[in-house]
């Protein structure tokens, strides 16, 4: 009986953690090209690997990707897996969009983390092959992914990684950089969050100033200059 209670508590925590993480990111400017390509790859390969440098917003992107997949497939549920054993605790009669963050380590490659998850790779392959309504998102930092990629190739699930259409999206790469409009929207959100006001009438030599109440003002010219800076993933904050 005690084991049953512990299992129920752990499973409820598992469900609650997934919902809270996804709901925390309700305000988000997504890189549309990266999002559209990720959805296409998920639908075709049943899994996708999201990579990027530190601070590129991989987790937020994946949370939004899960939400988009829930809209596209109303019968599936979004779940964030933090331990390999949770994979086998899923209801076999239901569909899922699963997310495994930092699958082989957060800041550096960890063989132990890979060994734990790799024991489930064949099961994942079987699961994706048998069920049309199960999808998996993996996330990893670029440096970590580069170190461990060859280890993944030993498993049937990842046999497509050597192909030109490999299901890998690099949020730091040129192919998926945010557009000027997307970065502009993100920067406007940041200014609003920080209480910064935009003005188009500020003179050339006063691109920023403070009002008497302490509110910081920013000229439209400087705002546009900031937006044009080459920052592929936008402005994480």
| Residue 233 is assigned to a structural domain of this protein | no
| Residue 235 is assigned to a structural domain of this protein | no
Residue 112 CB partners (closer than 8 Å, separation 6+): none
The average pLDDT across 5-28 equals 46
| Residue 36 is assigned to a structural domain of this protein | yes
Tell me: the pLDDT tens digits for 215-237? 788 888 888 888 888 776 666 54
| Residue 234 is assigned to a structural domain of this protein | no
| pLDDT confidence bin for 104, thresholds 50/70/90 | confident
Q: Considering only CA atoms, which of 99, 59, 91, 58 is closest in space to residue 75?
A: 91
Q: Is the pLDDT of residue 13 over 50?
A: no
Q: Are residues 109 and 195 in the same domain?
A: no
Angle at 35 between CA 32 and CA 40, to 5 degrees: 125
Q: Are residues 105 and 9 in the same domain?
A: yes
Q: In the chain, how many domains are there?
A: 2
Alpha-carbon dihedral sign for residues 133, 37, 113, 158: positive
Cα–Cα distance for residue pair 201/233, rounded to 1 Å: 30
Query: In this predicted structure, what is the pLDDT of residue 26?
Result: 54
Q: Are residues 159 and 189 in the same domain?
A: no
Higher pLDDT, 16 or 150: 150
Q: What is the CATH number of the domain that holds 13?
A: 3.40.50.300
Q: Are residues 90 and 63 in the same domain?
A: yes
Of 160, 175, 190, which marks where a domain is finished?
175
Q: Are residues 118 and 169 in the same domain?
A: yes
Q: Are residues 166 and 207 in the same domain?
A: no
DSSP structural state of residue 4 = H
Cα–Cα distance for residue pair 29/155, rounded to 1 Å: 35
Q: From the centroid of its chain, how far is CA 181?
A: 20
Q: Are residues 108 and 158 in the same domain?
A: yes
Domain span including residue 184: 180-228
Query: In this predicted structure, what is the pLDDT of residue 94?
Result: 92
Q: Is the pLDDT of residue 111 over 60?
A: yes
Of 132, 157, 175, which marks where a domain is finished?
175
Q: Is the pLDDT of residue 15 over 60?
A: no
Q: Are residues 132 and 214 in the same domain?
A: no
Cα–Cα distance for residue pair 137/67, rounded to 1 Å: 12
Tell me: the pLDDT tens digits for 186-200? 888 888 888 888 877
Q: Are residues 215 and 156 in the same domain?
A: no
| Residue 10 is assigned to a structural domain of this protein | yes
| pLDDT confidence bin for 9, thresholds 50/70/90 | very low
Residue 62 CB neighbours (<10 A)? 26
Q: Is the pLDDT of residue 18 over 50?
A: no
Of 175, 190, 211, which marks where a domain is finished?
175
| Residue 107 is assigned to a structural domain of this protein | yes
Task: Tell me what percent of the residues of the chain surpass a pLDDT of 90.
Answer: 42
Residue 212 CB partners (closer than 8 Å, separation 6+): none
Tell me: the pLDDT tens digits for 45-81? 999 999 998 888 899 999 999 999 999 999 999 999 9
Query: In this predicted structure, what is the pLDDT of residue 66?
Result: 96
Q: Are residues 223 and 130 in the same domain?
A: no
| Residue 185 is assigned to a structural domain of this protein | yes
Beta partners for 100? 138
Q: Are residues 55 and 101 in the same domain?
A: yes
Q: Are residues 148 and 38 in the same domain?
A: yes
Q: What is the mean pLDDT of the chain?
A: 82
Q: Considering only CA atoms, which of 173, 162, 113 is closest in space to residue 138?
A: 113
Tell me: the pLDDT tens digits for 149-198? 999 999 999 998 888 789 999 998 888 888 899 989 888 888 888 888 88
Beta partners for 138? 49, 100
């Amino acid at each position: 009986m005690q084991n049953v209670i512990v299992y129920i508590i752990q499973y409820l925590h598992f469900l609650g953690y997934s919902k809270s993480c996804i709901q925390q990111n309700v305000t988000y400017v997504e890189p549309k090209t990266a999002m559209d390509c990720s959805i296409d790859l998920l639908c075709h390969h049943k899994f996708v690997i999201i990579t990027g440098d530190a601070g590129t917003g991989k987790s937020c992107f994946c949370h939004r990707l899960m939400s988009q997949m829930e809209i596209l497939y109303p019968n599936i549920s979004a779940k964030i897996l933090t331990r390999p054993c949770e994979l086998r605790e899923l209801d076999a009669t239901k569909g899922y969009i699963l997310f495994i963050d930092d699958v082989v380590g957060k800041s550096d490659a960890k063989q132990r983390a890979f060994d734990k998850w790799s024991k489930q790779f064949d099961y994942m392959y079987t699961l994706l092959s048998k069920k049309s309504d199960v999808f998996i998102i993996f996330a990893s930092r670029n440096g970590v992914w580069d170190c461990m990629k060859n280890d993944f190739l030993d498993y049937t699930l990842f046999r497509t990684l050597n192909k030109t259409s490999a299901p890998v999206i690099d949020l730091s790469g040129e192919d998926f950089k945010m557009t000027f409009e997307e970065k502009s929207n993100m920067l406007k959100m940041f200014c609003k969050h920080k209480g910064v006001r935009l003005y188009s009438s500020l003179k050339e030599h006063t691109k920023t100033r403070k009002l008497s109440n302490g509110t910081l003002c920013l000229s439209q010219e400087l705002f546009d200059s900031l937006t044009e800076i080459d920052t592929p993933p936008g402005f994480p904050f």
